[in-house]
Structure 1
Amino acid sequence: MGSDKAAGRVLLPPHVEPRKYNLRLEPDLERFSYEGLVKVDVEVVTSTNTITVHSKDIAVHEVSFTPGQQGSAPIAAIALAFDLKLTTLSMTFPTDLPAGPGTLEIRFTGTLNNQMAGFYRSGYTAADGEKRMMASTQFEALDARRCFPCWDEPARKAVFEVTMVIPTNRAALSNMPEAEVTLLPGGKTEIRYMPSPLMSSYLLAFCVGEFDFLQGVTKHGVSIRVYTPPGKKNLGRFALQVALDTLDLYDDFFQVPYPLPKLDMIAIPDFAMGAMENWGLVTYREVDLLIDDNKASSQQRQRVCSVITHELAHQWFGNLVTMNWWDDLWLNEGFASWTQTFAADALFPSWAMWEQFTTDDQAAALRLDSLKTSHPIQVPIAHAEEVEQVFDAISYCKGACVVRMLHSVIGADKFKEGLQVYMNRHKYANTETFHLWSAWEEVSGKPVGKIMSSWTEQMGHPVVKVTEATYSAADKSLALTLEQSWFLADGSDAGDEAKLWTIPLVYSTKGVKASEVELMEGKTHTLKVPLDSESEWVKLNAGQHTLMRVAYTDGMLSALTKAIKSKALPAEDRVGMMSDAYALTKAGKMGVEQLVALLPAYSQEDNTTVWESLEMILVGLDKVLQDNAALQQPFKAMAAKLIAPCAASIGWDPKPDDGHLSKLLRGTMIRLLGRFAWDTPAVQEEAKRRFTGHCEDPEAGSLPSEYAAPVYQIILKSGGTAEFDQVMAILNRTDDIAQKKQVYAAIGAANSAELKKRVMEWAVTEVKLQDFFYPINSVAGSGKLGQDLAWAFFKDNFERLRGMLGKASPSLMDAVILYSSGGFCDHDKAAEVEQFFKDHPLPSNARKISQVLEGIRINATFLQRMTTSPLADKSFWDSLEL
């Protein structure tokens, strides 16, 4: 193996470079195997007698090399050496291979595995009701090598020409359109596809099975098809329209036309991720592509739209221009995460997607990035396998946040112009982060690299504290002295006083919607704000464009609380105020009583996005208090009072004038009723009425999808085995994955330890591998008993779970670990969890385990502070004005 000295990367030797792959595969869907032949046109850069490629779980039978000189004979390899740790195959030849062109030929066989990685199998139900198998691929990040021997690194771009040999009664798709179809003896069909553009190995894809499809053509002439399992093509109409509109939008935005002649999107029955951006053949989980227009919730529409706009952004950002190495993964994922919101907002402006960005991407980024176990956006990757641990909220959500921040600094026009320069300059090539900064710097004239390096190259984000606020009546201004420091969720002193960020500061007041951007570059900064009177409010980080926390003086906080009550602050700033207060309180930088006293300011709140943020905070506090009934009881009573006005206003019944956001809000409020007021007679009666009607006639519409899951939870919490069986029966009468997920999300609320245990056993024996952790999470999230049972189940079934997940994506085990142990708020439990994983190490999940442990300890300390705060006094709760 070679090593890139500059970055310490472990790479394949540079002596031989791939130029074009001719890959022929013949899958057997009954024996779950395939025959393969790959002929790779290469350039021997330096004469060598050994060629090393990536190869994993493949049986190699024959290897030869033919030099490019006319009349050269094939040279058979004399030795094959597999390195299981590095997943490489080294092929040694009897003599040095001459520098120049040549062709490497490898004959091999492989297995269609059941791990949702590489070339793998999925089960589906055919139109005649028969259970059948299909095959599809998932190669990102490191699993093209599980399908065929290749140079499995993003910078080793090549052309791919694929040939598939399949049963004549099946169909096959790949990145490119068919070039030639030949009928073979024995009921076989050979399909040769057009050569791909120059691209990375992880973007290659193929699917074999039975599919229905519907199609359309963009205004710019690109054919788009949505492929579905048999009998489900009507569920692809929404996705098709979103894709048609999005591809045209991106063509115009990037000013580089989509370069392939077609774009296929296909729903895969078994899929570990949400979707995968394979160039020209994007693969999706069924639930993230297919929608029943008559039943789908607003949340599901929004999810499908965002997943599609994300994956189609990758056709440019990632596919056309690709990161040079995995330490710049964020160039793919962070930008696509920003663009998904940009495009969804353009397609559906009434959805308020940028408002929702603050409660989704930004909240997730701030939460993970406040841990000591976080990592920089540009994280050093030596061994490629390490990248599996950084497909997380830092690469995706923090990446999106810093892109949005820069957009606000340089403006929409220069942002767009810089992207067009970047795309045209680097298409079909590989880049590093500085190439993107350079393009924006060039068009804007601003020091983009200097501004952004502090956000991408170092871990964490700042808290900006107002240390002094001095009002001058003479010139009607408020002078704010600001101080920045590294914000950590546990409130500890980071011990890194040198760590600073270049912070774009924007403020708003009663008379100024958003000030001009002012950069804070040092430890302290003075900001002068024009203000008519000392009592007026000033909101820092107006619009929540910068990834930071803000700590105000008591006087400023008091003025802002009044602005929240009167809704003088825009929705995203009302979200920001509550989100910052919650984070500062958990870190011990603000009194718990101050946080809880802020909540009544939202008692007349009616904005969907603000309530989504309030829901996260109320549920977060409730989970921390589940170990302390004395505090949880008055908190739940207060929460029930807080949600009552909005819940009553939005009601349970859909209204004729409901918009997308009204439906989302109704779902949020009924979830909150199901958590904080589920045992009240009115809620019980309404839930039972709707559930009964739904069981009697699922098509009658008595239980809208927006809030089916919380109604199931209410029924389960107040019922027994009979109600449990009724909810489980819903799974047997639907093949709609979204409806199944509603049951998975609720079933753990069953009202006995015995039923909760049954749920977890059922999850690992009967639920698909891609979904089995949802019921476990449902159990763990159902309260203290559920959390204890989920952790006990994980420990007792550890070897079984590890065997189940085998070689599947580490993200699946990450989810099980988080859901089984992440809800504890006890230092002793943290020690127990830590010891368990010392005794049962999981190297591929080490980062997630460390983050879970840090989260448990933060919550344990937070709970300790609450028990000694004014919250422990009944008079505090009586004093709240609700």
Structure 2
Amino acid sequence: MGKGFYISKAVAVTCVVVAIAAVATIIALSVVYAQEKSKNEAISPPTTSPDTTTITPTTPSTPKEPWQRYRLPDSLAPVSYNVTLWPRLKTNADGLYIFSGHSTVVFTCVKETDLILIHSNRLNLTAFEGYHAKLKGLDGATAPSLKNTWLEVPTQYLVIQLSGPLQAGSKYELFTEFVGELADDLGGFYRSEYFEDGVKKVVATTQMQPTDARKAFPCFDEPAMKAVFHMTLIHPQETVALSNAMNYGKFLSQCSNTRFEPTEIMSTYLLAFVVCDFAYIGTKPGAEVLIRIWARRKAIEEGQGNYALEKTGPILSFFENYYNSSYPLTKSDQIALPDFSAGAMENWGLITYRETALLYNPDVSSNGDKEWVATVISHELAHMWFGNLVTMKWWNDLWLNEGFATYVSYLGANYAEPTWKMKDLIVLNEIVGVMAVDALASSHPLSSKEEDIQMPEHISELFDSITYSKVQYYSHYYNLILSSVEYNQWCIICLQTYLEEFKYKNTVYTDLWKHLQMAVDKAGIKLPSSVEVIMNRWILQMGFPVVTIDTKTGKITQKHFLLDPDSVVDRPSEFNYEWFVPITWIKTGVERQQYWLVDKEATNNDMMLNANDWLVANVDMRGFYRVNYDAGNWERLLDIPVINRAQIIDDAFNLARAEMVNTTLALRTTKFLNKEVEYMPWQTARNNLDYYFLMFDRSEVYGPMQAYIKRQVSPLFNYFKDLTLNWTKIPESHTDQYNQVNAISLACSTGVKGCRDLTTGWFREWMKNSTNNKISPNLKSTVYCSAIAAGGVEEWDFAWSMYKNATIASEAEKLMHALSCTKQPWLLNRYLQYCLDPEKIRKQDATITIIYIASNPIGQPLAWDFIRANWNHIFNDYGGGSFSFGGIINGVTKRFSTEFDYKQLLQFKEDNAGQLGSATTALEQALERTKANMNWVAMNKKQVLEWFTSETSSPV
């Protein structure tokens, strides 16, 4: 249960007092900032001092001095910060938005040292008698004088050399005063802009993860450097200030000074503070935890925050029970920001969201929008314990935070919306997609070595699908394998004891294994080895196995699964790419069985079959491995009633790409679709057939392939036409609503009779009366796309106008995607140029818009040319959180399948060496994927063409 909520007291003090104390410094700092902005915000070491070393940047592998290393030394440990920040929501004389502030950090000297390193990035510091900081001793300690100070730009440090050593065990206080730009780069302390009633409004907000707290104030910016934070925000009177903790109150005059209660001990990346003119809805007085949903005033007035408020309380209560731990704070603020780089951020007590992840309007938003809001809220609330209360020691174990939170987010959402059967969607939404990435030779283990993750760009590269999705399987590894309610209870208990032991501390993954082992021992479960030995094989080596079962002999083998069997794996593994594989299986007349494959090969006589029997392994697709069978069992599986049908499709297609089964066998798994109406098989088939479209939509295969899909989807289209009474009703089932979208989308794209007239007719009605959109929210995305693809500039310009005037973020997002569906190259080129104009496409949306355009076969080469022509601008001006460099590379190169494409990628790599940042790994993956695509197309194009041609020429 929660602790209750705190009602703040207002203290009447005028802003003028604060302003007088700061005004002279602020003016000076503003001038300094404007002068230094063009110099990369650096204060270099003075060369006139004989005690100053001239710094030559070095690579992280060859540091010559402590300040050239990207990791903090272990000599100092922060205790608390007292930070005051003053963001300006209007430009200064130089046309800049700035913020100013000062910070005092109390730290303990752990090891004697004469050097202070504290992170500081893009901040200009006030000089005090030639130095940029003031130091004093506490509790009787004497502070040495400052010998020299400077900003070390490559490693983002404020470096302070002392005249003598700090004494181990003593406490000291470091004061700094600074100014920074309140830029629109979506990282650190930044600004977001929006218009309301024709008036431009500016929000000052934050995104600190992973390494941007140092852009707001000097700090020890590593997750293990936890401390208590005392925050004060100075802001205009008409605005509200929010932070992680409750405010004491604000005192009014021409501006306000809002102070906040001290936080719990926490990591810098979880800090958040916002100054805005937002409104909120919240729980009633007396609630155990104060819950507030903040957003633009119009959004709150329209009720767009109601669903989030309705579900936050139940989800929070679910996690309190699940973790057997009260929510440790007095309030949970959740705020929807017009500009935000991620989906959401789990800042303790002040969770920040994109508007699409928090706001929901039942009259306009789809069931998918609603599901997204529920699962994102659940994900972030799960972090309040797993990540915030207990935090990974270093970013190499990011998966401890993100993977577990992604898994339990489905449990929380399932609790809040039990009719959705969210737990059944985990595999389709998360596991299937990440397996495609983890099947590349350029993949990476879940947990990297700490020394391999040093630079900020290394950390950013870890925020990928493997970190977020792969670990879900391990999060519920044992309770799925052992299928025991009793064990389930012990597994939950182990998480509870883990959280209790390490609350407010940092951990490494072996700490979790210890508690899992305790659960196994107490439950009396017999495993083939210890938890640590079993799990290390899954998290310390990349990839996953393919298990091959010969039902004639009972022989079972495992090997590393690679989509391109010719790719070279140059990442060594101490386990020789061998796993402990928990196999769940059923066969004709036999209920679910379990078997551990612990070696490269084994024999299980129970898996031998009679001539007419069948066997299916990896039941419910809950294991992180692929399954191959002997030819006879594959043939029988194609003829049995629907059972694990989605898994059979997914395994067959991926095994075919890996050249382990024939491509025609994979295609044959789709033949039953003309009789299928369930979502899981259809969505799985669609996901896999998308690869065939990527490879062949510009070749002679395209026509027969389209004709085949048209024949298969026609019955589904008619099924939903009847189910919805000629498209006048919404299907009752959550997954039926999704499959209705599949039916219309595939039917229109393949030319099913009546589909295009249906969608263009709906769109035309909307164009005639733009204030009355009667298109079902669930169908908007596919209807908009279909109509714009069939139309021309008139439809495009109308959709653009609706996009620019949309007041609901989810509606804007649907239109943003649909605008990429046009078949007019000049419109796509114009749309690409809009991506570099934040007045047209918000920086947060630029990456996905380019990827949308590249998903269009007409737009893909245009997007690739655009990326190459503008990479320097994108990397330098749209850096930080604005662009996902890895996402752009992956999205734009998915169709690459020729030698010419491969050479272009190599040239791009050469041309932009040293300017790839977090796209480095993505580029290597693109090269590997292109090579695999080239080989696959060469081997399979002829037989794919023949198969589709044969199927479409034969009677149904």
Query: Does the pair score TM above 0.5?
Result: yes
The reply to whether residue 29 of structure 1 matches residue 89 of structure 2 is yes
Q: Which runs of 4+ in 1 moved over 4 A?
A: 72-76, 217-220, 493-497, 530-533, 698-701, 878-882
Question: Please, which of 86, 104, 120 is the counterpart of residue 174 of structure 2?
Answer: 104
Query: Do the aligned partners of residues 343 and 529 (structure 1) sit closer, same or farther apart at CA in structure 2, a change above 3 Å counting?
Result: farther
**3-state DSSP class of the match of 2:107?**
strand
Contact 2:270 2:348 in 1 (8 A): yes
Decide whether aligned partners of structure 1 residues 493 and 391 sit closer, same or farther in structure 2, where only a CA change above 3 A counts.
closer
Partner residue, 2:191: 121
In structure 1, which of residues 323, 332, 338 is the aligned counterpart of residue 401 of structure 2? 332
Amino acid at match of 1:423: L
Q: Is residue 453–residue 459 contact of structure 2 (8 Å, CA) maintained in 1?
A: no
After superposition, the C-alpha distances for 1:677-718 in whole angstroms (9 at most, x for unaligned) are 2xx551221112111122234565531122222222222232
Alignment pair present for 1:189 and 2:277:
no
Q: 1:869 and 2:943 equivalent? A: yes
Alignment match, 1:469:
551
Unaligned runs of 5+ in 1: 471-478
User: Could you tell me how far 1:813 is from its partner in structure 2?
Assistant: 2.1
2:899 corresponding residue in structure 1 = 827
Of 736, 757, 778 in structure 2, the residue corresponding to residue 706 of structure 1 is: 778
Contact 1:49 1:97 in 2 (8 A): yes
The match for 2:294 among 227, 231, 239 is 227
For 2:578, give the aligned amino acid.
Answer: L
1:18: how far off? 0.4
Matched, 1:414 2:414: no
Letter in structure 2 aligned against 1:150? C
Q: Would you say 1:508 and 2:580 are equivalent positions?
A: no
Give the match for residue 117 of structure 2. Answer: 52
1:440 match: 516
Contact conserved, 1:154 with 1:323, CA < 8 A, in 2? yes
TM-score (norm 1): 0.93
Q: Are positions 1:343 and 2:343 aligned together?
A: no
Contact 1:225 1:263 in 2 (8 A): yes
Gaps of 5+ in 2: 1-59, 92-96, 127-131, 522-526
Match of 1:456 in 2: 539
Q: Which residue of 2 aligns with 1:560?
A: 637
- In the superposition, relative to structure 1, how do residues 880 and 18 fare at CA in structure 2: closer, same or farther (>3 Å)? farther
Please state if 1:14 is matched with 2:74. Answer: yes
Q: Structure 1 residues 203 and 875, CA, compared in 2 at 3 Å: closer, same or farther?
A: closer
Quick one: which of 475, 480, 503 aligns to 1:427?
503
Shift of 1:523: 0.3
Length, aligned pairs only: 854
Task: Answer yes or no: is 1:748 the counterpart of 2:820.
Answer: yes
Deviation at 1:773, TM superposition (A): 2.8
- Indicate the residue corresponding to 1:475 in structure 2: none
Instruction: Establish whether residue 154 from structure 1 lines up as the match of residue 211 from structure 2.
Output: no
Shift in alpha-carbon separation, 1:619–1:875, aligned structure 2, 3 A:
closer
Q: Do 1:344 and 1:353's aligned partners in 2 also have CA atoms closer than 8 Å?
A: yes
SS at match of 1:529: helix
Say which of 727, 731, 741 aligns to 1:653: 727
**Which segment drifts farther, 300-309 or 665-674?**
665-674
C-alpha contact (below 8 Å) 1:25/1:163 kept by paired residues:
yes
Deviation at 1:484, TM superposition (A): 0.3
Q: Check whether the contact 1:67–1:74 (CA below 8 A) recurs between aligned residues.
A: yes
Residue of 604, 618, 624 corresponding to 1:527 = 604
Question: Which of 327, 330, 349 is matched with 1:258 structurally?
Answer: 327
Instruction: Give 2:693's aligned residue.
Output: 622
Report the 3-state secondary structure (helix = DSSP H, G, I; strand = E; otherwise coil) of the residue aligned with 1:26.
strand
* Cα distance in 2 between the residues matched to 1:326 and 1:268: 26
**Cα RMSD over matched residues?**
2.4
Task: Identify the residue that residue 485 of structure 1 maps to in structure 2.
Answer: 559
Contact 1:371 1:851 (C-alpha < 8 Å) held by counterparts: yes
Aligned pair in 2 of structure 1 residues 464, 195: CA closer, same or farther (>3 Å)? same
8 Å CA contact 2:143–2:166 kept in 1: the answer is no
User: What SS is found at the alignment partner of 2:926?
Assistant: helix
C-alpha distance in structure 1 between counterparts of 2:713 and 2:691, whole Å = 15
Distance 1:747 1:464, change over 3 A: same
Q: Secondary structure at the match of 2:194?
A: strand
1:747 CA displacement: 1.4
Change (3 A) 1:873 1:162: closer
Instruction: Kindly provide the amino acid, as one letter, of the partner of residue 357 in structure 2.
Output: D
**Counterparts of 2:471 and 2:674 in 1: how far apart (Å)?**
34
1:668 and 2:742 equivalent?
A: yes
3-state secondary structure, aligned to 1:208: strand
Query: What secondary structure is seen at the aligned counterpart in 1 of 2:201?
Result: strand
8 A Cα contact 2:364 2:811, kept in partner: no
What do residues 163-193 of structure 1 show as CA deviations (whole Å, max 9, x unaligned)? 111111110000000124333x5x1211111
Deviations 1:857-878 (A, max 9, x none): 2222222122232633676335
Q: 2:671 aligned with 1:594, yes or no?
A: no
> What is the CA–CA distance in structure 2 between the aligned matches of 1:219 and 1:191, rounded to whole Å?
24
AA aligned opposite 1:798: W
Q: How far apart in 1 are the matches of 2:205 and 2:422?
A: 33
Q: Do the aligned partners of residues 10 and 721 (structure 1) sit closer, same or farther apart at CA in structure 2, a change above 3 Å counting?
A: closer
Are residues 38 and 194 of structure 1, via their aligned partners in 2, closer, same or farther at CA, if it must alter by over 3 Å?
A: same
| Among 255, 264, 268, the residue aligned to 2:337 | 268
Structure 1 match to 2:14? none
Task: Report how far residue 493 of structure 1 moved.
Answer: 6.9
Q: In structure 2, what is the Cα distance between the partners aligned to 1:542 and 1:732?
A: 47
Q: Deviations over 1:206-261 (max 9, x none)?
A: 00011110112699811111101122111011111221111000000001111000
Larger CA deviation: 337-346 vs 698-707: 698-707
Amino acid at match of 2:582: P
2:13 counterpart residue number = none
Q: TM-score, normalised by structure 2?
A: 0.86
Kept after mapping to 2: 8 A contact 1:600/1:881:
no
Q: Out of 721-730 and 33-42, give the one that drifted further.
A: 721-730
**1:856 to 2:920 alignment:** no
Q: Please, which of 767, 789, 792 is the counterpart of residue 717 of structure 1?
A: 789
Distance 1:874 1:644, change over 3 A: closer
The residue identity in structure 2 corresponding to 1:342 is L
Counterpart residue number, 1:798: 871
Distance 2:144 2:206 in 1: 32
Match of 1:839 in 2: 911
Residue 295 to residue 284, structure 1, CA distance change in 2 (3 Å): same
CA contact (8 A) 1:287 1:737 kept: yes
Q: Deviations over 1:465-516 (max 9, x none)?
A: 12x323xxxxxxxx52111000001123767893200001110234445323
Q: Describe the SS at the equivalent of 1:772.
A: helix
Contact 2:551 2:607 in 1 (8 A): no
Alpha-carbon distance, 1:414 to partner: 2.0
SS in 2 for 1:49: strand
Tell me the distance in 1 between the aligned counterparts of 2:582 and 2:70: 37
2:638–2:668 Cα contact (<8 Å) kept: no
Q: Are 2:616 and 1:539 aligned?
A: yes
Query: What is the Cα deviation at residue 422 of structure 1?
Result: 0.6
Looking at structure 2, the residues matched to 513 and 579 of structure 1 have their Cα atoms a distance apart, in angstroms, of 23
> Does the 8 Å contact 1:10/1:382 carry over to 2?
no
Q: Percent identity?
A: 26
Match of 1:775 in 2: 849
Structure 2 match to 1:812: 884
Letter in 2 for 1:521: V
Could you say if the C-alpha distance between residues 744 and 304 of structure 1 is closer, same or farther in structure 2, counting changes exceeding 3 Å? same
For residues 189-228 of structure 1, the aligned pairs below 5 Å read 189-216=256-283, 221-228=288-295
Range 771-780 or range 293-302, more displaced: 771-780
Residue deviations 1:707-737, cap 9 Å, x none?
2222222222322222222222222442212
Alignment-mate amino acid for residue 902 of structure 2: A
The Cα of 1:84 is off from its aligned counterpart by: 1.3
Q: Which residue of 2 aligns with 1:474?
A: none
Spell out, residue by residue over 1:397-435, the C-alpha distance to the aligned partner (whole angstroms, 9 max, x if none).
111122232331354212211111111111111001111
Aligned-residue offset at 1:848: 0.9
Mapped contact 1:600–1:642 kept (Cα < 8 A): yes
Partner SS, residue 872 of structure 2: helix
